[in-house]
Structure 1
């Protein structure tokens, strides 16, 4: 019922040798948790990621337990005096969310990622060492799926916090599948809790990747521990082994992404939401672009029919005739425009937060007032899945002013160009 605490000592290498030995001491901590485990759970099981040491010196381990009602949950145990006293967090994940991993994000704030039976990774945050957990629905929770169809349970993933290029970030390793029949290959992801970038694959493409862990030394070293299986046809074969991979090239790629973020940040002050004319006739920025909570930014980069996200996240697909303009695109003709996918991203949905709340900002210049009785769509959001194609929120330009559509119904027409 109670966990064991094993402490290892790294012994010095013998004279003339470079290899060192790790010697494990006698297991301890068979009892003494506060609160006692038997008060809350019927079992305590394996399935937690690596432990961390917080900025104030607290040792924290993610753990998995089974409640009195038989539900598997994730939580943490922690101690500032590991050999004498341990505490178990009173808060826990929703039932069915297991294989937790934990990082410290900010000062005294914990983020816990767990694989949930509904088919996604839930991310929980706590500012009181796990006494209470809140699902981070507005940022990272439910971004990563466990399978191409986003159903079923997943595996243990790597999850670490780091400071790279003077920016606080998190690194994640999880299997990605291009189709249901392909073997999963580990991918490295980078996020600062707003932007999410798939840095690329980090495991053998001919093997099926399962559990993984990450280590970032604080210097140049980024190391991945990987559980791999052989592949027989379309099926997963036998256990192939545990592999240790030094991700030197990926570490450099991570740095380049962070530098791209910094460049995008520096370019934002030049963007406007409401250009105005100065006395000299030049365009000035009447309202600066809001940046708090900014997730993606489309400007003037286009390639291969894709309008590139300046933060290297999710690109928009260009339709019809378009040409580059200052910090944007010019669309010509009927049906021309761009679509920024949200629910159509497959296994991993980096804009999943839009299912709960989002703000879409666009700077639009209209060359001529439309003629006829039908408005020209300017911007909006459509539903996917059930209710496919229904305009959830839309803004159109008509001859007599703006038209507003909500949930497929025009709610306002002839709204003056300027109020």
Structure 2
């Protein structure tokens, strides 16, 4: 930890409140935490108070804070060339694309090219653009329980409340994906949930008109909506429907990709290959803004003689590209993706099961894989009524007070630490989860 000046704690907070306009927030009552530095799975403020990060910020710091190889790569690239127009070739950009494609093809797929963006939202925007241009169709189907980003088409493709004040894009239709704990299909088993959700999706396709539908945009494992691991057979069924009706299947792997589920890409764990893959977040843990679309030959070569009408000033930015190369190499060399899978299997999953067994009146369900889990908190186990927002806010405050940075969303705590987290750190975090849940009184 570098030398810190405690006076900077209040200065940082004062400057923020005076001049920073925050996302998804009413501005008046904000009191943001201040962070001065971090390493691995921990952060600290200017007063030296440490926090164990079980949120990975916005589920993006997969490689942990200040990984030395990634920091060094950014510094080295800055010494050579800090920026370059996307129309030119650049070694860091080319190498980043090569490594991303290699990881996408690990299970036998044949992706070929990468269109680089600045983040996940514009990755989804450009995947939608590609699908529409490639098919000559307009409609995009996506689920109600989803988040795809806060730009024109991406926010309207989003299924939750955030799309409602932002309905500026055309041609979007939503459907219900599988969620057995709160089934829309009166299902009692995973088999029923999968079968009925697929029937519902096919009926939506038929009712909208298959010849009008350009893309099916789905999060392979919906993240912000609740870490909704698809039941067996569901993704295979979605793939079959997309193929049968000539629809481009876009896998939004912005949150689930680059090791989060214990696979390089989440869809690889389900034996399904999409037509387009969108990514961001974990590709370089957000060290420099970066995202993109991974494209197969058929779609890429459709634009050999036809202009692709899209572009970004910072597409494939050299500093970001260098950080991608270093991230993928470090994750490969250090077995970080394998660690994510192992930690999920031997630490997070068992700890969640034990916590649910101890607090059956509070924890309705636990679910996840890799370093991508959620516990769903309820006010009543029988009715499954969600724990009220005020109680969830109190849980979050209590965890922060104990030095744990949680990811709290609606009535859920998402357990989504950096993939470099240790078993000891998981045990530490769950000690705090247990203590805080033990203090809750519902009546």
Provide TM-score, normalisation by structure 2. 0.25
Q: Hey, which of these two has a bigger chunk of helix by percent?
A: 2
Q: Hey, which of these two has a bigger chunk of strand by percent?
A: 1
Provide TM-score, normalisation by structure 1. 0.26
